[in-house]
Amino acid sequence: WLMMSLWDALRMNMMISYQELVRTFPNRRLLSPK
């Protein structure tokens, strides 16, 4: 059960990081157009 809990924690952390990236990427692209 330890491995499953670690996998769930890692997956949840990746999901949160992905949501943060998706939410902040358009603003970053608008602020610095290249």
**Which tens digit of pLDDT belongs to each residue from 1-34?**
678 898 899 999 999 888 888 887 776 666 665 5
Q: On the CB side of 30, how many CA atoms lie within 13 Å of its CA?
A: 5
Q: CA 23 to CA 4: how far, in whole Å? A: 28
| Per-residue confidence (pLDDT) for residue 9, from 0 to 100 | 92
